[in-house]
């Protein structure tokens, strides 16, 4: 059994320097105040600033150090087996819109990274969802057909360069992987300045959805026209924190990373029990293999056992003989498989949220930011309707939330 590192530490947070932005210590006024300095908050801030608005980001720790700093790093429009499910539960039109908005999110991120010259190890690569179970072949064929039918770069495959026999896979060509922590740092550097701000160690503790809107920290108040809450579960107002628990639920996942000699390319994930998410990452002169999974709702199970399962898998199949990093992170899942983006309540005037990214928040952040950008600027956005928080009917969702958290 491989030894685990003594402490939990994300590779991304360890490999890059953290940022040093000021704390909010006075009252200021901008157009939009954003609580939460992860990839969602910073992408919103970036797009709004590009459209000429003044923004202020309030981050309670340091930017990117939340779930974004503990992510895997895949940017894809392939979120497990999603398209066949979306057609069944939401209809073809919604599934097609989902395909379009996510595929174009990848291209938009590609353009921003190139235009702004953000050094974040951005690399285009193929993404695969695979199964070792012959029982699932029909399901995988249906997924490939549905996705390709929407114009996505999807194909059904049976031969993958993995060290075990795969029964079926769906490949999405030309997706991407990157260092999300460095990307967020790059966005923050562009946002801060010229009347826009990034504040760290500035915990948003009070939200007022009025005209003007206000967000307070311990030391200062930001007055603005609009508020975006990008803190995963809405950090405020208090009521949102409570009510959103019936539309989303938290999930913890684990990652281990160790040096790896193989020539494996591509990004992989499997819905099978005891098969995991795989990502080879170039880490300076060496290559690390990330193995992620062992998902559960927080508070259940033994973390050390889960890390050992991932480490055993890395050793058994990929010959990894040393685990250099282990870490865990948490994200929110939506009961109906669609992220939650829009005005917090139907009666909200200037209060928006983006949450329930269901562990696909790297591409979803671009989707969320584009939608919130348009809503705030009073522009039509044809994708906004499918993600609106107001589609959720809490009474109907409660049993589903409980069921999906337990199984
Ligand atoms: C293990 C794991 C692997 C993943 N892998 C992938 C992947 O490969 N591809 C993919 O697309 N997605 C992946 N995801 C999901 C993705 O990482 C997340 O959806 C995304 O990083 C969430 O970004 P965020 O900005 O919403 O949240 P965060 O990055 O958590 O940012 C929220 C920020 O808000 C701050 N905050 C909280 N409360 C307050 C407050 N009151 N005031 C001010 N600030 C506050 C926090 O400190 C935090 O920095 C993964 C998730 C997990 C858990």
407 has pLDDT over 50? no
Average pLDDT on 39-64 reads 98
Do residues 310 and 291 touch, judged by C-beta distance below 8 A? yes
Ligand 1 atom with the smallest distance to the CA of 267 is: 8
Closest-CA residue to 146 (of 184, 110, 98, 95): 95
> What's the pLDDT at 300?
72
> What's the pLDDT at 394?
55
CB of 36 within 6 A of ligand 1: the answer is yes
Average pLDDT on 49-70 reads 98
Question: Is-above-0.85 flag for pTM?
Answer: yes
How far is Cα 250 from Cα 164, in angstroms, rounded to an integer? 32
pLDDT one-digit tens code per residue, 276-285: 999 999 998 8
Percent of the chain with pLDDT over 70: 96
Ligand 1 atom with the smallest distance to the CA of 63 is: 49
How far is Cα 26 from Cα 241, in angstroms, rounded to an integer? 26
Q: Which of 357, 367, 372, 387 to mutate to test the pocket of ligand 1 (most atoms within 8 A of CB)?
A: 357
Residue-averaged pLDDT of the chain: 94
- How far does the centroid of ligand 1 lie from the alpha carbon of residue 38, in Å? 6
> What's the pLDDT at 249?
86
How far is Cα 177 from Cα 121, in angstroms, rounded to an integer? 8
CA dihedral (295, 300, 304, 306) in degrees, to 10, reads: -30
pLDDT one-digit tens code per residue, 124-165: 999 999 999 999 999 999 999 999 999 999 999 999 999 999
225 has pLDDT over 60? yes
| Nearest residue (CA) to ligand 1, atom 2 | 71
Q: 361-376 vs 92-116: helix axis angle to the nearest 10?
A: 90
Closest-CA residue to 230 (of 382, 72, 53, 357): 357
Instruction: Write out the E strands in 274-315.
Output: 277-283, 286-296
Instruction: Write out the E strands in 158-212.
Output: 168-177, 197-199, 206-208
pLDDT one-digit tens code per residue, 193-224: 999 999 999 999 999 999 999 999 999 999 99
CB of 68 within 6 A of ligand 1: the answer is yes
> What's the pLDDT at 296?
87
> What's the pLDDT at 161?
95
167 has pLDDT over 70? yes
> What's the pLDDT at 301?
74
242 has pLDDT over 90? no
Q: Which of 18, 38, 56 to mutate to test the pocket of ligand 1 (most atoms within 8 A of CB)?
A: 38
404 has pLDDT over 70? no
CB of 357 within 6 A of ligand 1: the answer is yes
CB of 48 within 6 A of ligand 1: the answer is no
> What's the pLDDT at 405?
53
Do you find a cis peptide bond into 212, omega within 30 degrees of 0?
yes
Q: How many residues does the chain have?
A: 407
- How far does the centroid of ligand 1 lie from the alpha carbon of residue 56, in Å? 19
- How far does the centroid of ligand 1 lie from the alpha carbon of residue 139, in Å? 30
Residue 91 makes CB contacts below 8 A (sequence gap 6+) with: none
pLDDT one-digit tens code per residue, 309-336: 999 999 999 999 999 999 999 999 988 8
Band (70; pLDDT cuts 50, 70, 90): very high
| Nearest residue (CA) to ligand 1, atom 19 | 361
Percent of the chain with pLDDT over 90: 85
393 has pLDDT over 70? no
395 has pLDDT over 60? no
CB of 80 within 6 A of ligand 1: the answer is no
Average pLDDT on 287-316 reads 92
C-alpha dihedral sign at 232, 35, 32, 104: negative
């Amino acid at each position: 059994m491989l030894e685990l590192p003594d402490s939990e530490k994300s590779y991304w947070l360890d490999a890059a320097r953290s940022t040093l932005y000021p704390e909010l210590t006075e009252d200021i006024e901008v157009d939009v105040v954003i609580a939460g300095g992860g990839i969602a908050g910073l992408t919103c801030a970036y797009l709004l600033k590009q459209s000429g608005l003044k923004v202020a980001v309030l981050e309670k720790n340091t930017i990117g150090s939340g779930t974004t700093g503990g992510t895997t790093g895949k940017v894809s429009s392939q979120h497990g087996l999603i398209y066949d499910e979306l057609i069944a539960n939401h209809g073809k039109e919604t599934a097609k819109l989902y395909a379009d908005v996510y595929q174009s999110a990848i291209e938009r991120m590609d353009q921003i990274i190139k235009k702004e010259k953000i050094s974040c190890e951005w690399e285009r690569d193929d993404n695969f969802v695979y199964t070792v179970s012959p029982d699932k072949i029909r399901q995988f064929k249906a997924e490939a057909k549905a996705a390709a039918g929407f114009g996505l770069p999807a194909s059904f495959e049976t031969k993958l360069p993995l060290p075990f026999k795969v029964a079926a896979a769906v490949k999405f060509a030309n997706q991407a992987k990157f260092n999300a922590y460095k990307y967020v740092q790059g966005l923050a550097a562009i946002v801060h300045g010229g009347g826009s701000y990034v504040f760290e160690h500035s915990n948003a503790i009070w939200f007022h959805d009025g005209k003007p809107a206000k967000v307070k920290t311990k030391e200062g108040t930001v007055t603005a026209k609009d508020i975006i809450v990008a803190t995963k579960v809405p950090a405020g107002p208090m009521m949102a924190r409570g009510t959103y628990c019936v539309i989303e639920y938290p999930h913890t996942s684990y990652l281990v990373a160790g040096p790896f000699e193989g020539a494996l390319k591509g990004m992989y994930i499997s819905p099978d029990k005891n098969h995991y998410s795989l990502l080879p990452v170039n880490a300076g002169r060496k290559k690390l293999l990330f193995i992620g999974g062992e998902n559960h709702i927080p508070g259940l199970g033994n973390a050390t056992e889960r890390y050992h399962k991932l480490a055993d898998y890395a050793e058994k199949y990929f010959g990894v003989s040393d685990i250099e990093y282990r870490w865990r992170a948490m994200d929110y899942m939506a009961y109906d498989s669609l992220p939650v983006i829009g005005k917090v309540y139907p009666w909200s005037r200037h209060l928006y949220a983006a949450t329930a990214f269901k562990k696909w928040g790297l591409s979803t952040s671009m989707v969320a930011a584009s939608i919130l950008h348009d809503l705030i600027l009073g522009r039509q956005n044809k994708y906004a309707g499918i993600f609106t928080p107001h589609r959720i009917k809490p009474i109907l969702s409660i049993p589903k939330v409980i069921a999906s958290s337990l199984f």
